[in-house]
Amino acid sequence: MTEYRWLRLFADHLGRCDLRADEVVAVLSESASRPVLVETARLAAQLHGAQVVDVVVPTPANPHPVPIRSTGASQAIAGNRAAIAALAAADLVIDCTVEGTLHAPELGAILAGGARVLMLSNEHPENFERYAFDPDLARRVELGASWLAEAAEMRVTSSAGTDLTVRLGGGVVAGSTGLATEPGSIAHWPGGLVATFPAAGTVDGVVVLAPGDLNLTFKRYVETPVRLEITDDHVVAVRGDGVDARLFDEYLAAFDRAARATSHVGWGMNPAARWDYLALYDRADVNGTEARVCAGNFLYSTGANEHAGRFTAGHFDLPLLDHTIALDGRVVVDCGRLTAELAPARP
């Protein structure tokens, strides 16, 4: 059952997404969705006077030998044309599916209908209480995204051994502000991520996961170093002596080759997001969106990249600390800290 504190919080955020009383809201969920999240979203939309409809689909059986986690690519819609038509006809879709529709194959058809999508990660509503609204976040995200779109190369390094080069030509840049205000757009809450989905054949180098970095598929902190060797977009070797490397390699082995490919790369922009929060919640109550947008993290992800023509259920989101990110030599993150132009102004 929802509580007033969450209801008010969600209603406020829907207001920032320009929800109006004359609009139609579709609350998308599946049979395995978190009931309190769905209820809170529905009632918050009704507080705005919107016409609300529930679109509920069955959660399909998992055809893989391992659990599916942290993909952003819900398989629950499963091409259902009636569900897609209903969602595309809405003004606002509040996505409460377990994995989210960010990389789902049906997203294009939903957005093409003019709907805007706000994705609520499968997390307990209590998490959202800590995301203080930053009215300047959208400007800073858009600035970072513009720099990324104009650059030809991203270079990422760290003292732990990361040395990655991403050739940016032909990639697709996305900047999530957390606000779904424009028809045909998608945002996740909390927002604050600048990322690119690189074109095929543009990512090479080494990414090193050091102790304290996050593996959001496993919802755990890395405890022993993991070295990922990347050639032609794909992780071709996983090296390390500890359990982290073994877990990573064996999970990848459960999927097709596309699961080893680069999905997206970018950095977090949200100073209200914390990297240490995973230690304070049960795993079932978090889904990692906060870690993805934590200010200054380098986010390296493997798996689905629709812009490179790759779809797969295997996915890793890896927010990494203390990295330096440069765009054509311009440093945007310096050893895990946003540079001055991208950081919030000091009070």
List, for residues 210-247, the tens digit of each pLDDT value.
999 999 999 999 999 999 999 999 999 999 999 999 99
Same domain, residue pair 178 and 287: yes
Same domain, residue pair 86 and 179: no
Asked if residue 67 has pLDDT above 70, the reply is yes
Residue 61 lies in a domain: yes
Same domain, residue pair 164 and 126: no
pLDDT at 36: 97
Same domain, residue pair 169 and 313: yes
Same domain, residue pair 107 and 58: yes
Asked if residue 35 has pLDDT above 90, the reply is yes
> pLDDT > 70: what percent of the chain?
99
Report whether 315 contacts 302 (CB < 8 A). Answer: yes
Domain boundary residue, one of 114, 130, 146: 130
Same domain, residue pair 43 and 122: yes
Residue 347 lies in a domain: no
| Coil, helix or strand at residue 280 | helix
Same domain, residue pair 87 and 232: no
Confidence bin at 345 (pLDDT 50/70/90): confident
Q: Which two tokens stand for residue 163?
A: 């040395």
Same domain, residue pair 109 and 172: no
Report whether 164 contacts 206 (CB < 8 A). Answer: yes
Residue 91 lies in a domain: yes
Tell me the residue range of the domain where 304 lies: 137-338
pLDDT at 347: 60
Q: What are the distances in angstroms from CA 148 to CA 5, 141, 167, 174, 324?
A: 38, 11, 11, 9, 15
pLDDT digits (tens, 9 = 90+) for 101-142: 988 889 999 999 999 999 998 989 999 999 989 999 999 999
Residue 345 lies in a domain: no
Return the closest-CA partner of residue 207 out of 325, 314, 327. 325
Same domain, residue pair 123 and 142: no
> E strands of 198-347, at which residues?
203-209, 214-215, 220-221, 226-231, 234-239, 262-268, 298-302, 316-320, 323-327, 330-334, 337-338
pLDDT at 304: 85
Domain boundary residue, one of 107, 130, 153: 130
Q: In this structure, what CATH number is given to the domain that contains residue 106?
A: 3.40.50.2300
Domain boundary residue, one of 130, 158, 176: 130
pLDDT at 97: 97
Mean of pLDDT over the chain: 95
Same domain, residue pair 151 and 48: no
Residue 149 lies in a domain: yes
Residue 250 lies in a domain: yes
Same domain, residue pair 191 and 240: yes
Same domain, residue pair 101 and 233: no
Handedness of CA 171, 109, 187, 103 (dihedral sign): negative
Residue 344 lies in a domain: no
Instruction: Work out whether strand 92-95 and strand 24-30 pair parallel, antiparallel, or are unpaired.
Output: parallel
| Coil, helix or strand at residue 338 | strand
Residue 162 lies in a domain: yes
pLDDT digits (tens, 9 = 90+) for 138-170: 999 999 999 999 999 999 999 999 999 999 999
Q: Which two tokens stand for residue 188?
A: 């996740």
Asked if residue 34 has pLDDT above 70, the reply is yes
| Coil, helix or strand at residue 52 | strand
Total count of domains within the chain: 2
Give me the DSSP letters along 290-304: HHHHBTT-EEEEES-
Query: 22-31, 191-200, 280-289: lowest mean pLDDT where?
Result: 280-289
